[in-house]
Structure 1
Amino acid sequence: MKNVSNQQASSSYLKVVKRSHFISSDKVVRLMDDVESIFTKHFANNDRKKTMKFLRPQRQRESHMVTFFVGLFTGCFVSLFSVYAILAHLSGIFRPNSERSYVETVYPIFSVFALLSLHLFMYGCNLFLWKGTRINYNFIFEFQPSTSLKYRDAFLIGTTFMTSVVAAMVIHLLLRASGFSPNHVDAIPGILLLIFIFVLICPFDIFYRPTRYCFIRIIRNIVCSPFYKVLMVDFFMADQLTSQVISLISLYNLIPLMRHMESTTCYFLAGSFKTHRYETCNSGRLYRELAYVISFLPYYWRAMQCARRWFDESDPNHLANMGKYVSAMVAAGARITYARQENNLWLGLVLVTSVFATVYQLYWDFVKDWGLLNSKSKNLWLRDDLILKNKSVYYMSIVSSPSI
């Protein structure tokens, strides 16, 4: 108004605002106090300091340097990936008559790091969409607003992660083509893993230390599920792990994360990068045992979370939810066993357990978790309260969920 009318009205305007009923009314002040007390009692465990962090967060100034480095590392990733593609084509490592050790061992190990960075990128996309739809994910996951990741930060971590992985792949390919000893060259994935572990547990306040330690705490809570109270972020992360096991079972011939984690674990535990006995991580006993362990563990952790929630809340729905993951464990075990013992008995068990687990999971996801398929809802076959205005998103989720 000041710039348009060329009048010095700001001081007069502020005087009127200060005398307004909204500013001077005791009812407004009491209402604010009531909201703070209710939030403190029911959502912050009577911790007023925690309440103030959520209700009156200090808005941090966003730096354009984050956006700059996201673009920088994205460009580096594209350039390095182009170099890697050219080198791979010239060396012929992906040709049918080439040496299979790289494709069957080293390549899956690098793929684990690549898929982890892809997960970080997708998490950044989630943060971007949640912000656009005004979903308070900090409150839902109980993150500290002052230290929680923004979508730009997630993109920065993902692009940095991916650039490091592709750079290691280029170095590995160059050293391999230059005739260096395989004992030294094949240790590069292990060195990369050690670097990432060091960055993850680094005690210095750099590289998003609150987020790194929060991630470590979440993984600890998942691994020790029965012994820690289950929070929203804990079973959200555990659900991500179970979705990767579904990829392992249904898309085994593609590039799911859990399958390559199985190969990577075997690669380091069996010492294949030293002995170069790569058949150990294809058909050896250790590989077969890891297939069962990695397939069962995410479902087991999720089932234990349900058991702990039932113990804390005495809600029988948590036991029913636990049954969903137990049925998935049985189906996963039958599927892996059938892949090694192909006979009619195991085929029948696979069909029965898979159909039962699939129907169980779809019903629970649609009806219990999402609240969809409600014939009495004012939104046809959806729930009454919808966050997204476009109903087609929910219908597409219902149709696409079985195929995913």
Structure 2
Amino acid sequence: MRIMRSIIFSPFYKVLMADFFMADQLTSQIPLLRHVEFAACYFMAGSFRANPYEMCTNSQQYKHLAYVISFLPYYWRAMQCLRRYIEEHDINQLANAGKYVSAMVAAAVRFKYNVTPTPFWMWMVLISSSGATVYQLYWDFVKDWGFFTPKSKNLWLRDDLILKNKFTYYISMMLNLVLRLAWTESVMKIRVSKNETRLLDFSLASLEIIRRGHWNFYRYLRLV
């Protein structure tokens, strides 16, 4: 609870390792947070037995609040980076904040595209989301995982490897790349039924948890 308090009220608290580590986990829990908000809307808006499932999903207020919730983890993380930059004067923290701001911009553009699905906004989604993805991939591989070390004896990796099988690192890099591109589903307009849509959302959310698990593992190796 102390950690969550520090995250929610960023940047007014000093940022400890547990704080920014937990905030990073929240950026991968956005689908869960949106479903928690949906559950609160559905079960608190009267008798859920008598109300259809679409009561909340078709509500404009629900949709807007759901996307505000989507921005919060990125906002909290950006504020933590800003606090650390002010205290530590480390330009990398400011650059890291930019990564989360780019994710917020990309999410906002995708929200606009869902409301106004025009070719212009589709191109804006491709541009903003592609830029944010490249930014995130660079930070994952180079800054957080410590890969792509110049003149390393291990191609695209670093000199000090804990795992004996290098192939495992390459698999994780490719998996991280593919799962970072999950946003493309929002512009592909896949025609599926309601149940299949929910299954697709569940699958993408589950894959993001797997991606975050890989990130946690290599981030920890980077720390030690």
Unpaired segments of 5 or more residues in structure 1? 1-215, 246-255
1:240 aligned to 10, 25, 32, which one?
Answer: 25
Please state how far the C-alpha of 1:289 moved relative to its aligned partner: 1.5
Please list the CA deviations of residues 322-352 of structure 1 after superposition, one character each: whole Å capped at 9, or x if unmatched.
0000000011111122112111221111111
1:230 aligned to 12, 15, 31, which one?
Answer: 15
Q: Does 1:326 align with 2:101?
A: yes
In structure 2, the residue matched to 1:221 is 6
Please list the CA deviations of residues 154-189 of structure 1 after superposition, one character each: whole Å capped at 9, or x if unmatched.
xxxxxxxxxxxxxxxxxxxxxxxxxxxxxxxxxxxx
In structure 1, the residue matched to 2:67 is 292
Cα 1:316–1:388 change in 2 (3 A) is same
Alpha carbons 1:272, 1:280 under 8 Å: kept: no
Aligned residues: 179
Alpha carbons 2:34, 2:70 under 8 Å: kept: no
- Paired amino acid for 1:235: F
Please state how far the C-alpha of 1:274 moved relative to its aligned partner: 7.6
Please state how far the C-alpha of 1:364 moved relative to its aligned partner: 0.9
* Secondary structure, aligned partner of 1:366: helix
2:162 aligned to 387, 395, 400, which one?
Answer: 387
- Structure 1 stretch 342-351 or stretch 261-270: which is displaced more? 261-270
In structure 1, the residue matched to 2:173 is 398
Alpha carbons 2:6, 2:19 under 8 Å: kept: yes
Alpha carbons 1:266, 1:286 under 8 Å: kept: no
Q: 2:80, 2:13 → 1: CA distance?
A: 9
In structure 1, the residue matched to 2:78 is 303
In structure 1, the residue matched to 2:41 is 266
Please list the CA deviations of residues 236-276 of structure 1 after superposition, one character each: whole Å capped at 9, or x if unmatched.
1111111233xxxxxxxxxx423422312322454463872
Q: 1:223, 1:306 → 2: CA distance?
A: 14
Q: 1:402, 1:272 → 2: CA distance?
A: 44
In structure 2, the residue matched to 1:368 is 143
1:5-404, aligned counterparts within 5 Å? 216-245=1-30, 256-268=31-43, 270-271=45-46, 273=48, 276=51, 278-404=53-179
Please state how far the C-alpha of 1:392 moved relative to its aligned partner: 2.1
* Secondary structure, aligned partner of 1:301: helix
- Paired amino acid for 1:370: W
Q: 1:286, 1:271 → 2: CA distance?
A: 16
Cα 1:289–1:268 change in 2 (3 A) is farther
| Percent of aligned positions that are identical | 64
Q: 1:272, 1:283 → 2: CA distance?
A: 17
Moved over 4 A (4+): none
Please state how far the C-alpha of 1:279 moved relative to its aligned partner: 3.4
Q: 1:272, 1:388 → 2: CA distance?
A: 54
- Paired amino acid for 1:244: Q
- Paired amino acid for 1:395: Y
Alpha carbons 1:222, 1:238 under 8 Å: kept: yes
Alpha carbons 1:242, 1:299 under 8 Å: kept: yes
Task: Report the RMSD for the aligned CA atoms in angstroms.
Answer: 1.9
- Paired amino acid for 1:283: N
Q: 1:362, 1:403 → 2: CA distance?
A: 10
Unpaired segments of 5 or more residues in structure 2? 180-224
Alpha carbons 1:272, 1:278 under 8 Å: kept: no
Cα 1:361–1:231 change in 2 (3 A) is same
Q: 1:291, 1:395 → 2: CA distance?
A: 35
Instruction: Considering Cα pairs closer than 8 Å and 6+ residues apart, tell me whether 1 or 2 has the greater RCO.
Output: 2
- Paired amino acid for 2:17: M
* Secondary structure, aligned partner of 2:163: coil
Alpha carbons 2:15, 2:83 under 8 Å: kept: yes
